[in-house]
Amino acid sequence: MNKLLIPALLAALVAGCSSTPVDETAGAPVESRSGAGVTPVTAGGLDSRGLPKELTDPKSVLSRRSIYFDLDKYEVKDEYRDLVAAHAKYLVANRGFKMLIQGNTDERGSREYNLSLGQKRSEAVKRSLVLLGATEDQVESVSLGEEKPKNPGRDEAAWSENRRADMLYKAPDGRGEF
C-alpha cells in the first residue's frame, strides 16, 4: 500500500509546494525506511576501494589529494607544504603503501610537450615527498598532460583547476586507486 501512496504523496507535494513550504512530515514514513542518515561502515576501517578511511574520509587531511600550480610554474607552493608533509608522514609510517602522482596541465599547446610539463609537476611533488622520508619505491610520478582535465571549460578559471598534481594510493594488498 505504501508503494502506491508514494507517487500520490509526491504528486501532492509537487503540486502544493510552488507557493507554500513543503510539509516535511508528509514524507516521514517513507524516509525512515530509506538510507538517508545512515553511514555505511566496512569492517576493518577500509573504504569501498580497500583503503584505510583516514585516506579517504573527508574529515581527514589525507583525503586532500590535489596540489595546484600557477601558470608555467612547476614548484610546489608554500600553501601545500603541510599537505605534502602529512602525506609523507603517512608513507613513512606505512611503508607497504604506494602512491601514484599524476601531473596535469591546461589544454594550451602541444599535447606531448604538456605531457612533459605535467611530469615536471608530479616529479616536484615526488621530490618533496622523498625529501620528507618517502622512498623512491613507494612513489611513482607520471603525467596525464592535458588529456584528463578536471574542468573541461576554456577559461582561466578552468585552466587553473587543471594545472594540478593528484596523489593516488594503493594498499599493500594491491587494492586502491590505481
Site residues, other proteins (CB under 8 A): 100, 102, 108-113, 115-120, 123, 140-145, 147-148, 154, 168, 178
- Looking at the Cβ atoms of 31 and 112, the one nearer to other proteins is 112
Smallest gap, in angstroms, from Cβ of residue 42 to other proteins? 24
Distance CA(151)–CA(68), nearest Å, equals: 13
- Looking at the Cβ atoms of 60 and 151, the one nearer to other proteins is 151
Smallest gap, in angstroms, from Cβ of residue 109 to other proteins? 7
Smallest gap, in angstroms, from Cβ of residue 120 to other proteins? 6
Pairing of strands 98-104, 66-68: unpaired
Distance CA(134)–CA(153), nearest Å, equals: 35
- The DSSP bridge partners found for residue 67 are 165
SS3 40: coil
Smallest gap, in angstroms, from Cβ of residue 37 to other proteins? 33
CB 170 within 8 A of CB 177: yes
- Looking at the Cβ atoms of 11 and 113, the one nearer to other proteins is 113
- Looking at the Cβ atoms of 87 and 98, the one nearer to other proteins is 98
Distance CA(106)–CA(164), nearest Å, equals: 9
SS3 113: helix
